[in-house]
Structure 1
């Protein structure tokens, strides 16, 4: 679960979009920061939705019988002697593999979702994304302001307004 959030923030930090020609000296506007914050809040909501689905898959999987067995299998996964020791069944092996496949696909889904939001001119646009990222890297106060806007949007439930 923590892995998903870490993945999202790492992707946000290293995600790059081809920059359009833009004057570096342009002042960052409140509207641009708000658009960026809205995009980030939507991505975080998307990740949370995927995490909830994953948790439900684990809790409700009859073959695994819940999170404790899932964690036991996860600890032994990839080590056949350990799997034999915990007496994993073929049904449990298949159920675990299905959940792992879902988890592995989340990173690509998040990247695709985020890219779609960034490239959509009505949501954010690549030029605005790059402008805000440069400003955040150059000025910690801008990063703090964006984080504050994201928190405010999440608190008001506005991150889901255009999620679909």
Structure 2
């Protein structure tokens, strides 16, 4: 029994050593930069889709700048409230289109990010897995990623602001 426990402990130690060596494989600044770029690009994509959603609501005459949208949203799914709010078939269709768009947002963002990860020129799966593992194991890696993403967002905001004043 003792030999069995000793063997088990040795096996566990060897497994932990192999795991530690894998985790110790340091990620490079370039890998962190690529990973952060994917995070940034995904955030930009989500922001663009969110703006598209806002426009879809505010620019649709049916929703009267969003006021009617809020009324329909509050009544949605409750036939009595829908009748009380006098929601028309046209409004139901428009609201359902918004719901469908919102429902597809998460999936489209996931697909977009997956495409970026799968593209070896952008990031690559092995680099993604390596950096993702490192950020889970080391908070400093996550902090670096966050700092890079924030810097990219600030640069984009400056560029956007400059374009608006130039244009």
- Residue in 2 that maps onto 1:35: 34
Aligned residues, how many?
A: 137
- Residue in 2 that maps onto 1:162: none
Which range moved further: 30-39 or 126-135?
Answer: 126-135
Question: RMSD between aligned alpha carbons?
Answer: 1.5
- Residue in 2 that maps onto 1:59: 58
SS in 1 for 2:62: coil
- Residue in 2 that maps onto 1:123: 122
SS in 1 for 2:61: coil
Distance 1:42 1:88 in 2: 39
SS in 1 for 2:26: coil
TM-score (norm. length: structure 1): 0.79
Runs of 4+ in 1 over 6 A off after TM superposition: none
Greater helix proportion: 2
Residues 67-97 of structure 1 show CA distances to partners (whole Å, capped at 9, x for unaligned) of 1211121122111111111111111111111
Distance 1:82 1:141 in 2: 51
User: Which structure 2 residue ranges, 5 or more long, are not aligned?
Assistant: 1-20, 158-167
Please identify the structure whose Cα radius of gyration is greater. Answer: 2
SS in 2 for 1:48: helix
Deviation at 1:24, TM superposition (A): 3.5
TM-score (norm. length: structure 2): 0.78
User: Which structure 1 residue ranges, 5 or more long, are not aligned?
Assistant: 1-21, 159-164
Check conservation: 2:117, 2:124, Cα contact below 8 A.
Answer: yes
Deviation at 1:120, TM superposition (A): 0.4
